[in-house]
């Protein structure tokens, strides 16, 4: 087996070192990272008119549509060279990120000219590559050991080999070095202590398992809330600062998920069964992984995954892998990611300490074109009827669109419900007349491998300051009711805690108080938890409980739900493993701190620069209502 893996890695290395496109791909990626810091921060905005042929302007520097489109094209070429599809939701992100990449490039270049940062010599370029190999090298699986760590000795051997063409990497480093020198001028490299490294190690590696009761505020229907004018006015007066903004908008929003149908799932299952039935599936597993797997992170390594233990994989995958013997292939196994064919390569340890090394083929279950079109047609029908004067929520109800709502006041720095940070929708909110409506394809938060169509209508816009009571009355009523519901379920959570202190089980306490009992399995601080999502407040509470068996106080999340948690188990700190990683962790913390200091300085540049984004000026130009009448 070890011979198989060694041959596999060496063959891939020999093949890939001949591919110049690999270097090109990495160079484009790293260049975009350097200039893409802070994308989405618009700085000091201007509403002045500029040439229609310009995508935007930074001070006196013009960003032409040709330069803008060329930069977008380079991102598409990068994806094509990686054999990676760009989804519709990613297209929106690419357009926004590209614009701010061009903004940042100009600001950085201007600063380098003012600080007289010269070009670099060949010796400096070579020393930079040797001292701090770029990600194009360190993240290349062919320069990694079996445990995933960077093989510096192998890298230095090839760096000294005159037969290896390093020119693309040299060009990339030569272009990046001035920006690194700019960083060094802006701030000094922070010193990272062992204590900081240990805290970071714990955040990355410590795992906890817990049980919890969840209380949904919308289940608390047996409460009475005084929504008289006097009560609502009093709530507004007591919470006035809550509604203060630097300028805000309220939007109506709907989400139409593009979810695979049973027919879409069945098609992928047929392919998975066909691969499993291949007589040469074991011998040629690497070939099938490279040519069929949708897991971009492992397919180039023949599907090879890092060693993993219990609680590190989604439940169906983990159960199948641990139930199999070394050398066995199992599947197809269905998870939220798709169908997996799992090849268990090796095992060590026993019980909870058992570890597995495996390779897998992931076959994603994606919606068909017909499924996508049905969702988009539904969104278009909603838009057409609302533009014809129908009520947004009444149309959603008639079209059986369930994921709907009205936002609280959204400022320029707040995410838009379902959408996040999208400059086209944000421009509509800032520039268009109330009633304007747009749609955008987005990633589904609950299932990030899938997409949906978000429809956003501008309901109301507020100027800077505290809006009047009349302007926000509907929102005040909603907040008043939500607070009452939240207080009611907090009381239920407290009663559950009292019941458990008196000897009831957590499941019994949940049933008695109208909550939902569930468990997490072993999770890390930033893991996605089924039914909860990726919520730092939830995991922070779980990890903050000191001893197994102890119960937390009620915890209210931003969506209004309330939890009471119990710590069931927690992994122990491994000094041996920490000592192996401490150097790498320190280096990463120092790099993060250096980038963070640079980004704060860069943010100040943007804040004081006059930046005009002209891309949507015509689309969302305000309409003079009197003239149209």
Does residue 624 lie in a domain region? no
pLDDT for res 574: 85
CA–centroid distance for 80 within its chain: 22
pLDDT for res 354: 87
119 pLDDT above the threshold of 70: no
pLDDT for res 16: 33
Cβ atoms of 355 and 308 within 8 Å: the answer is yes
Q: CA distances (Å), 475 to each of 46, 217, 219, 459, in order?
A: 30, 17, 20, 12
Kindly state whether residues 459 and 424 are assigned to the same domain. yes
∠491-495-500 over CA atoms, to 5°?
150
Phi-psi region of 331 (alpha: psi -120 to 50; beta: other; left: phi over 0): left
Kindly state whether residues 134 and 187 are assigned to the same domain. yes
- Tokens at residue 73, please? 């094209």
Peptide bond into 332 cis (omega under 30): yes
Distance CA 431, CA 461 (A): 10
CA–centroid distance for 112 within its chain: 32
Phi and psi angles of residue 615, each rounded to the nearest 5 degrees, phi first: -65, -30
Which 3 state secondary structure label does DSSP give 298?
Answer: helix
Q: CA distances (Å), 249 to each of 221, 461, 595, 615, in order?
A: 29, 4, 33, 21
pLDDT for res 26: 34
Q: What string of DSSP letters covers 573-586?
A: P-HHHHHHHHHHHH
Q: In 3D, which of 35, 60, 40 has the Cα closest to residue 48?
A: 60
pLDDT for res 190: 62
Distance CA 180, CA 505 (A): 57
Phi and psi angles of residue 162, each rounded to the nearest 5 degrees, phi first: -70, -15
Torsion of CA 589, 591, 596, 601, to 10 degrees: 150
Last residue of a domain, one of 335, 363, 391: 363
Does residue 619 lie in a domain region? no
31 pLDDT above the threshold of 70: no
Q: CA distances (Å), 326 to each of 268, 311, 339, 358, in order?
A: 26, 19, 20, 9
pLDDT for res 76: 84
pLDDT for res 588: 85
* Higher pLDDT, residue 364 or 179: 364
Q: In 3D, which of 42, 46, 60 has the Cα closest to residue 100?
A: 42
Which 3 state secondary structure label does DSSP give 304?
Answer: strand
201 pLDDT above the threshold of 80: yes
75 pLDDT above the threshold of 90: no
Does residue 470 lie in a domain region? no
Of the chain, the percentage scoring pLDDT greater than 90 comes to 30
* Higher pLDDT, residue 322 or 593: 322
Kindly state whether residues 33 and 152 are assigned to the same domain. yes
Kindly state whether residues 49 and 160 are assigned to the same domain. yes
Residue 310 sits in a domain of what CATH number?
A: 3.10.50.40
Q: In 3D, which of 170, 168, 180 has the Cα closest to residue 123?
A: 170
Does residue 200 lie in a domain region? no
Q: CA distances (Å), 131 to each of 27, 134, 157, 351, in order?
A: 18, 10, 14, 42
Last residue of a domain, one of 443, 465, 487: 465
Distance CA 466, CA 190 (A): 41
Does residue 323 lie in a domain region? yes
Q: CA distances (Å), 516 to each of 214, 264, 464, 511, 563, in order?
A: 5, 32, 42, 7, 10
Give how many domains the chain has, as a whole number: 4
Kindly state whether residues 281 and 333 are assigned to the same domain. yes
12 pLDDT above the threshold of 60: no
CA–centroid distance for 610 within its chain: 29
pLDDT for res 385: 95
223 pLDDT above the threshold of 90: no
| pLDDT band at residue 476 using 50, 70 and 90 as cut-offs | very high
Cβ atoms of 257 and 444 within 8 Å: the answer is yes
Q: Which contacts (CB < 8 Å, 24+ apart) does range 238-246 have?
A: 239/476, 239/479, 240/466, 241/466, 242/479, 243/409, 243/466, 243/467, 243/472, 243/475, 243/476, 244/465, 244/466, 245/409, 245/411, 245/462, 245/464, 245/465, 245/467, 246/411, 246/412, 246/464
Query: What average pLDDT score do residues 6-17 get?
Result: 34
Kindly state whether residues 380 and 358 are assigned to the same domain. no
Per-residue pLDDT tens digits for 234-275: 999 999 988 887 788 999 999 999 988 898 899 899 999 999
pLDDT for res 193: 84
Residue with tokens 């069929």: 292
| pLDDT band at residue 624 using 50, 70 and 90 as cut-offs | low
* Higher pLDDT, residue 230 or 189: 230
Does residue 562 lie in a domain region? yes
Residue 139 sits in a domain of what CATH number?
A: 1.10.4030
Residue with tokens 């990068």: 78
Kindly state whether residues 55 and 127 are assigned to the same domain. yes
Residues 6+ apart with CB under 8 A from 386: 392, 395, 437, 457
Does residue 198 lie in a domain region? no
Kindly state whether residues 7 and 77 are assigned to the same domain. yes
Kindly state whether residues 25 and 144 are assigned to the same domain. yes
Kindly state whether residues 395 and 537 are assigned to the same domain. no
Residue 513 sits in a domain of what CATH number?
A: 3.10.50
72 pLDDT above the threshold of 70: yes
Does residue 221 lie in a domain region? yes
561 pLDDT above the threshold of 70: yes
Query: What average pLDDT score do residues 559-573 get?
Result: 91
Query: What average pLDDT score do residues 585-602 get?
Result: 81
User: Regarding beta strands 610-613 and 329-335, do their DSSP bridges make them parallel or antiparallel, or are they unpaired?
Assistant: unpaired
Per-residue pLDDT tens digits for 161-176: 777 777 777 777 776 7
34 pLDDT above the threshold of 80: no
- Tokens at residue 504, please? 């009831």
32 pLDDT above the threshold of 80: no
365 pLDDT above the threshold of 80: yes
Cβ atoms of 215 and 563 within 8 Å: the answer is yes
Its pTM surpasses 0.85:
no
Q: Please name the helix (run of DSSP H) or strand (run of DSSP E) that holds residue 625, with its range, or none.
A: helix 625-628
Structure letter (DSSP) for residue 410 = B
CA–centroid distance for 139 within its chain: 20
Query: What average pLDDT score do residues 306-329 get?
Result: 88
5 pLDDT above the threshold of 60: no
Per-residue pLDDT tens digits for 487-523: 999 999 999 999 999 999 999 999 999 999 999 988 8
Residue range(s) defining the domain that contains residue 423:
246-259+369-465
| pLDDT band at residue 83 using 50, 70 and 90 as cut-offs | low
Distance CA 75, CA 33 (A): 12
Kindly state whether residues 330 and 374 are assigned to the same domain. no
| pLDDT band at residue 9 using 50, 70 and 90 as cut-offs | very low
Kindly state whether residues 30 and 168 are assigned to the same domain. yes
Q: CA distances (Å), 452 to each of 298, 339, 375, 440, in order?
A: 26, 21, 8, 8
């Amino acid at each position: 087996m070890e011979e198989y893996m060694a041959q596999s890695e060496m063959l891939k290395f020999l093949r890939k070192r001949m591919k110049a496109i690999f270097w090109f791909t990495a160079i484009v990626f790293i260049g975009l990272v350097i200039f893409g810091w802070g994308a989405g921060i618009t700085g000091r905005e201007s509403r002045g008119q500029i040439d229609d042929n310009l995508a935007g302007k930074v001070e006196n520097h013009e960003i032409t549509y040709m330069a803008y489109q060329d930069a977008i094209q380079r991102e598409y070429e990068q994806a094509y060279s990686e054999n990676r599809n760009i989804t519709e939701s990613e297209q929106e992100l690419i357009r926004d990120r590209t614009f701010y990449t061009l903004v940042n490039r100009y600001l950085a270049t201007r600063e380098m000219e003012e600080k007289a940062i010269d070009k670099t010599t060949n010796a400096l370029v070579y020393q930079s590559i040797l001292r701090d190999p770029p990600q194009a090298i360190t993240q290349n699986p062919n320069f990694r050991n079996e445990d995933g760590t960077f093989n510096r000795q192998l890298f230095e051997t090839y760096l000294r080999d005159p037969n290896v063409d390093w020119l693309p990497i040299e060009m990339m480093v030569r272009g990046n070095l001035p920006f690194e020198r700019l960083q060094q001028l802006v701030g000094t490299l922070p010193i990272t202590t062992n204590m900081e490294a240990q805290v970071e190690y714990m955040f990355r590696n410590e795992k906890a398992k817990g049980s919890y009761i969840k209380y949904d505020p919308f289940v608390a229907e047996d409460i009475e809330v005084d929504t008289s004018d006097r009560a609502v006015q009093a709530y507004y007066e007591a919470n006035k600062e809550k509604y203060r903004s630097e300028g805000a908008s309220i939007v109506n929003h709907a989400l139409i998920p593009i979810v695979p149908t049973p027919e879409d799932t069945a098609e992928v299952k047929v392919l998975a069964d066909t691969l499993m039935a291949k007589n040469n599936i074991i011998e040629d597993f690497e070939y099938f992984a490279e040519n069929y797997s949708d897991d971009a992170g492992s397919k180039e390594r023949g599907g090879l995954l890092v060693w993993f233990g219990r609680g590190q994989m989604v439940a169906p995958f983990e159960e199948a892998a641990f139930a199999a013997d070394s050398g066995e292939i199992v599947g197809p196994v269905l998870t939220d990611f798709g169908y997996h064919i799992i090849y268990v390569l090796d095992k060590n340890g026993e019980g909870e300490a058992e570890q597995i090394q495996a390779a897998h083929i992931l076959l994603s279950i994606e919606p068909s074109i017909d499924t996508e079109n049905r969702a988009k047609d539904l969104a278009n029908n909603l838009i057409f009827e609302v533009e014809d004067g129908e009520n947004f929520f009444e149309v959603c109800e008639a079209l059986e669109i369930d994921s709907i709502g009205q936002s609280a006041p959204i400022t320029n720095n707040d995410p838009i419900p379902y959408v996040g940070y999208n400059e086209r929708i944000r421009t509509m909110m800032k520039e268009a007349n109330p009633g304007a409506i747009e749609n955008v394809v987005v990633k589904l938060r609950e299932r990030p491998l899938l997409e949906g169509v978000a429809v956003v209508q501008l309901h109301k816009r507020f100027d800077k300051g505290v809006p009047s009571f009349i302007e926000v009355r509907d929102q005040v009523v909603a907040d008043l009711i939500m607070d009452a519901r939240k207080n009611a379920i907090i009381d239920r959570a407290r009663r559950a805690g009292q019941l458990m202190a008196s000897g009831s089980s957590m499941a019994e306490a949940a049933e008695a108080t109208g909550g939902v009992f569930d468990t997490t399995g072993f999770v890390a601080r930033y893991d996605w938890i089924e039914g909860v999502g990726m919520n730092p407040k939830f995991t922070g509470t779980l990890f903050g409980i000191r001893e197994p068996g102890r119960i937390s106080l009620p915890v209210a999340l931003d969506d209004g739900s309330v939890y009471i948690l119990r710590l069931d188990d927690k992994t122990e700190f491994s000094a041996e493993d920490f000592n192996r990683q401490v150097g790498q962790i320190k280096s990463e913390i120092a790099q993060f701190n250096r980038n963070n200091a640079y980004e704060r300085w860069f943010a100040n540049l943007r804040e004081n620069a006059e930046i005009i984004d002209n891309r949507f000026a015509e689309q969302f130009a305000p309409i003079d209502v009197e003239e149209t009448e």
